Amino acid sequence: MNPEVNEDKSSLYNKVVEGKAQVYFHKTKNEVFYNPIQEFNRDLSISVMNTYSNVNNNKKLKILEALAASGIRSMRYALEIENIEEILANDFDQKAVDLIEENKKLNKVESLVKSNCDDATLLMNSMSRNWKSKFDCIDLDPYGTPAAFLDSAIRAIRSGGLLLITATDAGVLCGNGADTCFTKYGSVSLRTPACHELALRILLQSINSHAARYSKYIVPVLSLSIDFYFRIFVLVYDGQMKAKESINDIGFFHVCPECHTFYQQNYGKTVPTRGNVKFVFDSTSPYDLNKCQNCEGTLKLVGPVWTGKLHDKIFIQHLLKYLNTKTTDDFKTRERMIGMCNLAYEELDNPLYYILDDICSVMHCETPNHNVMRSAIMNCNYQVSYSHCAKNSIKTNAPSEVLWDILKRWVELKPVKEKWMGPEYRLARILKTQPKIQVDFSIRSDCTPESKKNNLLRYQEPPPFWGPGSKPKRKAEDEENSKQQNEKNQKVIEELK
């Protein structure tokens, strides 16, 4: 036990109240810190785990918080999840574990929460020996990438268990550092308007690949892009056949860097043969993938990614039912949770999306009202939804040709300025192909989704002080080191004068 903690606590700690928990944080800057922006993440995790327990006959949960820091999650889980068998709050840093012990006393949850000081991967691997030691829920909430913890987490989870994973390395996953993305996740990212959904799909692909090597498979229940990070909830099951079949949910995208059209390519598909279901490799490209079909741009390869479903709609229904029984006293971020879960529920299962302003700027045309565009797609007998990832998104099961044909018809109504029509511009290449379909732009009464009609909090602007926070110590050390280095350099320069 750290002797410091027996002294007057107010001189050492700040006390924060969140949900039903009170939590001490070190006063010293860059020690284990409190990030209020993550309250949404914690509220959502509590709601998802309560729902998970409810749909499994009020199963008592054995939970691991693998990278617990102050233990704020574990305190809240102990106080706010209805069916708890045990919570193990682990951290590599003894100071953090001492703080967890203090927080356990403060919240009177000593009987539910155990603390542990170990490397998370060693702990999870050692707990993977038998069913009893494994966990129903494992929460990975690292600073930055969860990549190093995925393998051991997959091993330490019970069949049917729930993995909760945060990734804050949004830059890497969204295409700034495709090479780093490849080393962490075995997949290449790309900066495109749909990069936030691509990031979720890269993460899911990586989780699936770890699961598959242990003959396990994943079922994503909720995969969200939130502010500056990603949060994924997946069920992990044992099953060799299903693990093999997961190849059906893995593929690539060929993305045009000029007009942002994307072309999906899977490894294969499952076909029924003589009463059995059989997977056939069919990686023949359905397109001429040298050039973009729309603008003749040179395509870029992204992936491999998860092309299967991002969410389980039935689970989301249960989750929304649960949230309806709660108030903003229970969860400060309740309205946002309901808004975002409704968006996820309404989302089409078709991968990726376009951004309306973006495709209109490709066409150099006036941007139609969202409802006009949505109605036009629906009038062509295709479905359309928003993506929870982006405000102005168009997610559709219409092929990209149809979408571009709609815009070509739109510019017939709203002509583009003459100067963009010259042969040196991309638009000339796009307009070379005549639209094949007629388009009805009349507004439909059913073009507005329920979440919008009901005025839910659908897209919350990030708060002004948003950001993942700094990794404790590291940043201060780095700053100190670089300050010292600068001073040394300055001396060398002065001596040389």
Closer Cβ to Zn ion, 259 or 378, answer by number: 259
> Distance (Å, rounded) from C-alpha 385 to C-alpha 397?
9
- The string of DSSP letters for 281-307 reads E----SS-TTB-TTT-PBPEEEEEEE-
Closer Cβ to Zn ion, 223 or 261, answer by number: 261
Segments in 251-353 forming alpha helices (H): 313-324, 334-346
Per CB under 5 A, residues contacting Zn ion are 256, 258-259, 261, 292, 294-295, 297
User: Exposed, middle or buried: residue 381 (CB in 10 Å: 0-12, 13-18, 19+)?
Assistant: exposed
Closer Cβ to Zn ion, 336 or 426, answer by number: 426
Closer Cβ to Zn ion, 297 or 449, answer by number: 297
> Distance (Å, rounded) from C-alpha 404 to C-alpha 410?
10
Q: Greatest CA separation found in the chain? A: 86
At position 308, the amino acid (one-letter code) is G
Closer Cβ to Zn ion, 195 or 292, answer by number: 292
Token pair 């280095």 is found at 485
Measured from the CB of residue 291, what is the shortest distance to Zn ion in angstroms?
A: 8
Query: Are the C-beta atoms of 23 and 34 separated by less than 8 Å?
Result: yes
Angle at 193 (CA atoms; ends 188, 198), nearest 5 degrees: 40
Separate counts of helices (H) and strands (E) for the chain: 18, 17
Token pair 């070509």 is found at 408
Closer Cβ to Zn ion, 197 or 358, answer by number: 358
Closer Cβ to Zn ion, 306 or 410, answer by number: 410
**Who contacts 482 (Cβ-Cβ below 8 Å, separation ≥6)?**
none
